[in-house]
Amino acid sequence: MTREVAVQQGTGRESGSSRRSTGRLRWVGVVGALMLAVGALSACVPQGPGAGPDRHGNPLFCDKVKKGSIFVSQGAQMYCFGPQPGQTGARPNVASPTVSPTNVAASNLSEDVAPNGTRGYGQSETSVAANGPYVVEAWNDATGFFAPCGSPQHKEELTGFAFSSDAGKTFTDFGGLPNNNCAGPNGYFYGGDPSVETATIGGVQYFYISSLFNSMFGGGLSKIAMSVCTATGTGVGANLACSQPVVIAQSSECTMMFGTTFCSFLDKDFLTVDPVHQRLYASFTEFGSFSPLNTVNLAVCDISNPTVPSCQNGARGNGSTPQPPYLVVEPTSPNFCENEGAYPAVDSATGDVYVAYEHNWATNLGSSACANEPVRNVVKRVPFAHLTLPFASGGPTNTTAINVTSMIGAFVPGSNRFPASDFPRIAVSGASGTVSIVWNDARYHPLGDILMQSYSLGSLNAASALVQLNENVGGLHFMPALRNADGRGLLNVSWYERATGNTTITNVELAPGVSPRATATPSGNVLITDVPTDWNAVSSDITPNFGDYTDNYVIATGSVPYVGQTVGIAWADGRFGTPQAFFASK
């Protein structure tokens, strides 16, 4: 695979093939005439303060989002609506954008400016992975709304990323993911919802950065793609070389209307890696543009050749026709109750994959058919024996679920999006023989706690009591992050927290070293942020300004099985007056 971008740590120098240029700003809508032909759209349900008209994209899918018949991720909203004015207010009282060694800005404010001088406001919805001294963090990047195709550092892409070769003490902001094919009617662009994974294969450290990947002009297949990056060297000689897009998955259905093809939309991708069996998996939701399709799917890539992964659903066909998904984890609900927020985890000892998602999210508010159906966080196990290549030979064999007291009805002060979410995050602990999920839940307090439930690997029988992880009660707790167990088999869970329900001052907290089989709230929550954010005083062009998730990752320090105990935490931080991607390790 040709390495299209090579940036030297600490210099910001970039090499690679030249990029095609176009003066068209990507947020300008191009589907007005077609929408008139399709018919007048219903009055829209604003997705945040100042939600604007369609930016571009699939009007059938975006009309569903406007009407509120489905709710989607931050990346999907960027696809449909372009920049959305966010909160206004006084800038936080910060003398200068300087942070302590504890908290490090991964994104660079100077990068958030388009070639014509327009500043983008909003680098949020972070994902992170760490391997030895190398850390890669990615985020949704509002600069792409205002940068034309062919911009320096690929600023037109809505997925940004940064690289550290000193374990997260400093970062180089690379701009957008490499993509030389963003121009013209066949051009595609990265559209946010990033996920980062890492694996050491053959003694080399690789990073995989996935994102939504959609047509610049709307219509056509919706895709999930990734950049494959190779980390090498140390100090000023450290290097991250990243590839052009590799398609992981694509739409399974399309509809032809008035000579234009509109396809199902792939939303909210997230990665997990199995370095033992050399597999990369991505879970995501697929929404129908015209049909009621709403499935949770799993994609797979063979990474035995780590720089040239073979992605089964993404590699089929000619790239312009729909293809069936590699595996449907959860089909469309009989009552069309929405399934969203899917996250995967893998047991590298067996190769089994576990997928967690939320059922009846958003439709619990507005669908009469779903009014009596419980909101649940569901976990499904797919045995490795069913994950054959190139086609899956079977589906999930074990399922468990827990009812959620949902916070979706909460208007979170300082957040520019309604509704909130209760999506589950998931991790496998081989040492404990468990798979655990964490989520925010309002059963004990109106503004929520961070709860954990663990299940036995294989059977998915309950392996622990329901445990509250936050020591502080009575405030707001939301958006927990959990990726992988440490070398002891313990979990590290981080989240946003407010001390009381009457403030917008927000910090990030961590529950470190939690036993998956804990029976009581662990002591020793750790404050991660050294400067809190007043989210009522942060300017953002994207909705939600926080993003849909935060992330953390136990730093890999050796060969499989990884034995690290240091966790890196990534979150969107507003201390500079606009959301930026931050990192800290503990």
List of residues 6+ apart from 410 with CB closer than 8 A: 419, 420, 442, 446, 447, 448
Domain with 188 in it: 3-585
Q: Is the confidence at residue 569, as pLDDT, over 90?
A: yes
pLDDT band at 558 (very low <50, low <70, confident <90, very high): low
Q: What number of CA atoms fall less than 13 Å from residue 235's CA on the CB side?
A: 0
Least confident of 93-97, 120-124, 319-323: 93-97
E runs forming strands in 202-302:
204-215, 223-232, 239-243, 246-250, 254-257, 260-263, 265-274, 279-287, 294-302
pLDDT exceeds 50 at position 465: yes
Q: Per the structure block, which two tokens stand in for 157?
A: 């892409």
Span 301-312, mean pLDDT?
Answer: 95
| Residue reference for tokens 């029976």 | 519
- Respond yes or no on whether the N-terminal peptide bond of residue 544 is cis (omega within 30° of 0): yes
In sequence order, what are the residues at sequence separation of 6 or more whose Cβ sits closer than 8 angstroms to the Cβ of residue 584?
102, 103, 104, 168, 508, 528, 529, 568, 569
CA–centroid distance for 93 within its chain: 30
Query: How much is the pLDDT for 28?
Result: 30
Do residues 347 and 355 touch, judged by C-beta distance below 8 A? no
Tell me, what's the pLDDT at 33?
29
Q: Model pTM?
A: 0.86
Region of residue 152 (left: phi > 0; alpha: psi -120 to 50; beta: else): beta
pLDDT in tens, 363-386: 999 899 999 999 999 999 999 999
Mean pLDDT of 93-120: 76
Based on the structure, what is the number of domains in the chain? 1
Look at residue 74 in the predicted model and tell me its pLDDT: 62
Q: Over 80: is that where the pLDDT of 388 sits?
A: yes
On average, the pLDDT of the chain sits at 85
pLDDT value of position 66: 64
Query: Among the listed ranges 36-50, 121-135, 476-490, which one has the minimum average pLDDT value?
Result: 36-50
Phi/psi for 421 (5° steps) reads -140, 165
pLDDT > 90 in the chain, percent: 71
Q: pLDDT tier at 6 (50, 70, 90 boundaries)?
A: very low
